[in-house]
Amino acid sequence: MTEERERAISDSVQQLLESIPSEVTLVAAAKRRSVGEVRAAIDAGVKHIGHNYVQEAALICGQLGGLAQWHMIGHLQRNKAKTAVEIFDMVETVDSWPLAKELERICARTDTRMPVLIEVNSGREASKTGLLPEDLHSFVGRFAELEHLALVGLMTMGPRFGDPEQARPFFQETRKAYESLSHLDLPHVNMRWLSMGMSNSYRVAIEEGANLVRIGTKIFGPRSED
Question: Quick check: is 156 in a domain?
Answer: yes
Closest CA to 47 of 62, 26, 29: 26
Alpha-carbon dihedral sign for residues 40, 44, 48, 50:
negative
Question: Quick check: is 104 in a domain?
Answer: yes
Residue 31 C-beta-side C-alpha neighbours within 13 Å: 17
Q: Range of 116's domain?
A: 3-220
pLDDT score for 159: 84
Instruction: Quote the pTM value.
Output: 0.95
Q: Give a three-class secondary structure readout of 104-171.
A: HHHHHHCCCCEEEEEEECCCCCCCCCCECHHHHHHHHHHHHHCCCEEEEEEEECCCCCCCHHHHHHHH
Tens digit of pLDDT per residue, the chain (226 long)? 899 999 999 999 999 999 999 999 999 999 999 999 999 999 999 999 999 999 999 999 999 989 999 999 999 999 999 999 999 999 999 999 999 999 999 999 999 999 999 999 999 999 899 999 999 999 999 998 999 999 999 999 988 888 999 999 999 999 999 999 999 999 999 999 999 999 999 999 999 999 999 999 999 998 755 4
Question: Quick check: is 225 in a domain?
Answer: no
Question: Quick check: is 205 in a domain?
Answer: yes
What single letter denotes the amino acid at residue 131?
Answer: L
Distance CA 214, CA 194 (A): 11
Question: Quick check: is 141 in a domain?
Answer: yes
Question: Quick check: is 44 in a domain?
Answer: yes
Question: Quick check: is 132 in a domain?
Answer: yes
**What's the start-to-end Cα distance of the chain, in Å?**
20
For Cα atoms 89, 92, 93, give the angle at the middle one, nearest 5 degrees: 130
Return the SS3 of 215.
Answer: strand
Question: Quick check: is 192 in a domain?
Answer: yes
CB 120 within 8 A of CB 155: yes
- CATH number, domain of 177, equals 3.20.20.10
How many domains are there within the chain?
Answer: 1
